[in-house]
């Protein structure tokens, strides 16, 4: 395979994975293949126009669907994937490898550290990071077959906070609740059965970001001493009044922080602010479906 010792993140949409991704991308020898794994293979970003959109559809998405007999990279497909032919595994590996260069169109993989750009040679040697959301957790066993040396990192978050974010964006409540339950149960199974699958909590990340980052680097076999500054992106978060705002800059603007400045970027009360505005009826419906999964993660219900 072209990609050596890749790192895969599994998370729920609106589950806080952006921050985890940026912690890992702070390492100068890690790059990403687009923002989300499925968007490497399917049109879905605002940059997918013209030939690139056609290329993804005709040469990436459709052939993989045809030869696997499934919509392999569909995030909302909540079931274990069929076995993938070896030649398609090689094809997927090639697309992921090339994706590290295509991602520059989306402003990814431009800088290995503050003000220092990657050369093509440096980018080619980087460990690849991808982020699979929702049902992409059911692709882990396929990727484990492809990359025995891979590291898999699962990120979970209090479902009530995630629920608020998804409902606000129009997601059907019951569908999301079932998805949360399915994803969490699969993550817990993988953590139990695969020695290279490690589960982390969003709450630990915002409460003690540097300790969280050290733990992620340890599990990923990354040398944290090579990190000069920590990369984070600006995103709107909910304040205590229920209003969304950016603390600085514009949406998705990248900032580089000294380690002792990281807490200035991260708001530790994000969950509380979101859960507080969740309607009681929505809370009850979610807990009826996904409460058991929350309890398995030791979240209060």
User: pLDDT digit string (tens) for 274-283?
Assistant: 999 999 999 9
Phi, psi values for residue 20, rounded to 5°: -60, -45
User: pLDDT digit string (tens) for 107-149?
Assistant: 889 999 999 999 999 999 999 999 999 999 999 999 999 999 9
Whether 178 and 129 have beta carbons less than 8 Å apart is answered as no
The model's pTM is 0.95
CA distances from 90 to 1, 68, 254, 265 (A): 7, 13, 33, 40
Smallest CA-to-CA distance from 66 within 84, 79, 52, 44 is with 84
CA distances from 104 to 22, 250, 283 (A): 16, 19, 40
Rounded to whole angstroms, how far apart are CA atoms 229 and 216?
16
What's the CATH architecture for 7-296? Answer: 3-Layer(aba) Sandwich (3.40)
DSSP state of 257: E
Give the residue extent of every domain in the chain.
Answer: 7-296
Rounded to whole angstroms, how far apart are CA atoms 87 and 79?
23
Rounded to whole angstroms, how far apart are CA atoms 190 and 175?
23
What H or E segment, with its residue span, contains residue 153? strand 151-156
Query: Which string of b and e fits 93-129 if b means at least 16 CB within 10 Å?
Result: bebbbebbebbeebebbebbbeeeebeeeebeebbbb
Would you say residue 244 has pLDDT above 90? no
Question: Tell me, what's the pLDDT at 21?
Answer: 97
Whether 1 and 90 have beta carbons less than 8 Å apart is answered as yes
């Amino acid at each position: 395979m072209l990609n050596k010792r890749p790192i895969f993140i599994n998370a729920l949409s609106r589950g806080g994975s952006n921050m985890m991704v940026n912690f890992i991308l702070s390492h100068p020898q890690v790059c990403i293949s687009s923002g989300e794994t499925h968007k490497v293979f399917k049109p879905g970003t605002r940059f997918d126009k013209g030939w690139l959109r056609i290329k993804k559809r005709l040469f990436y998405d459709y052939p993989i669907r045809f030869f696997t007999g499934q919509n392999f990279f569909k995030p909302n497909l909540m079931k274990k994937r069929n076995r993938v032919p070896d030649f398609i595994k090689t094809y997927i590996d090639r697309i992921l490898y090339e994706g590290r260069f295509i991602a520059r169109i989306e402003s990814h993989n431009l800088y290995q550290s503050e003000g220092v750009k990657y050369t093509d040679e440096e980018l080619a040697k980087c460990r690849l990071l991808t982020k699979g959301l929702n049902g992409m957790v059911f692709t882990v066993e396929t990727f484990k077959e492809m990359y025995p040396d891979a590291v898999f990192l699962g990120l979970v978050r209090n479902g009530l906070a995630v629920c608020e974010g998804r409902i606000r964006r129009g997601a059907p409540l019951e569908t999301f609740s079932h998805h949360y339950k399915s994803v969490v149960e699969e993550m817990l199974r993988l953590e139990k059965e695969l020695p290279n699958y490690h589960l982390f909590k969003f709450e630990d990340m915002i409460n003690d970001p540097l300790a969280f980052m050290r733990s992620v680097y340890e599990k990923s076999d990354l040398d944290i001493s090579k990190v000069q500054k920590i990369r984070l992106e600006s995103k709107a978060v909910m304040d205590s009044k229920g209003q969304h705002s950016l603390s600085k800059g514009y949406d998705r603007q990248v900032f580089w922080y000294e380690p002792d400045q990281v807490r200035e970027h991260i708001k530790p009360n994000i969950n509380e602010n979101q859960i507080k505005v969740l309607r009681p009826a929505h809370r009850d419906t979610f807990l009826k479906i996904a409460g058991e999964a929350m309890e398995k993660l030791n979240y209060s219900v």
